[in-house]
């Protein structure tokens, strides 16, 4: 076979290999992977600092896990020691209370986890999840049933539900639904959760 024919055959083969490789690398990712990446990328990350909430660590972790499992537009993570946090959590001797959000990245709200409620029999995890709900923009819904996380103390001391219901989840999802919403101010009122 003449050299020119070999060169043409080799060039055609190289072009075919490059075209196939280009098509393979340009193939779109499966829809489920792409959608999950988009959802994660769109979530607002809020950091919390519980370094001054001694005795509440397990309840805070459970409350954070409840919110993270039930909403996708916002994700709560523990702040690195010494770094800034949007949600500052402290243990107090009074009634639980929190700044009404929704808090935005770079801004700050305060959660006070009061031992007075625990002394009267209220569940620590429910208290922590409820107060975090205030930080995410949910007001109290008192009086209310145990199935409403934001009914707080009005559900009674037997209530241990620390999971937001569908309406509460929807309101938080809406509050963190877009970049425009991220510019909205935090309400700033302190809500005290005494009965």
Active site residues: 131
CB of 46 closer than 8 Å to CB of 74: yes
CB of 74 closer than 8 Å to CB of 96: no
Beta-strand relationship, 44-52 and 190-192? unpaired
DSSP 84: -
In this structure, what is the dihedral angle of CA atoms 92, 94, 96, 98, given to the nearest 10 degrees? -70
Ramachandran category for residue 157: left, alpha or beta (phi over 0 → left; psi -120 to 50 → alpha): alpha
Q: Write out the two tokens for 99.
A: 């700044």
Longest dimension (CA), the chain: 96
């Amino acid at each position: 076979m003449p050299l020119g024919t070999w060169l043409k055959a080799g060039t055609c083969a190289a072009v075919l290999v490059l075209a196939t490789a280009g098509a393979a690398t340009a193939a779109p990712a499966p829809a489920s992977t792409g959608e999950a990446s988009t959802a994660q990328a769109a979530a607002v990350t809020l950091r919390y600092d519980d370094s001054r909430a001694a005795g509440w660590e397990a309840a805070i972790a459970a409350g954070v896990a409840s919110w993270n499992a039930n909403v996708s537009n916002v994700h709560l993570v523990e702040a690195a020691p010494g770094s800034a946090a949007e949600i500052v959590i402290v243990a107090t001797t009074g009634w639980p209370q929190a700044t009404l959000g929704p808090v935005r990245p770079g801004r700050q709200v305060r959660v006070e986890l009061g031992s007075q409620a625990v002394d009267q029999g209220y569940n620590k995890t429910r208290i922590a999840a409820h107060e975090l709900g205030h930080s995410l923009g949910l007001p109290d819904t008192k009086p209310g049933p145990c199935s409403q996380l934001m009914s707080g103390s009005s559900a009674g001391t037997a209530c241990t539900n620390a999971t937001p219901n569908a309406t509460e989840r929807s309101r938080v999802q809406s509050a963190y639904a877009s970049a425009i919403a991220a510019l909205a101010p935090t309400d700033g009122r302190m809500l005290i959760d005494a009965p």
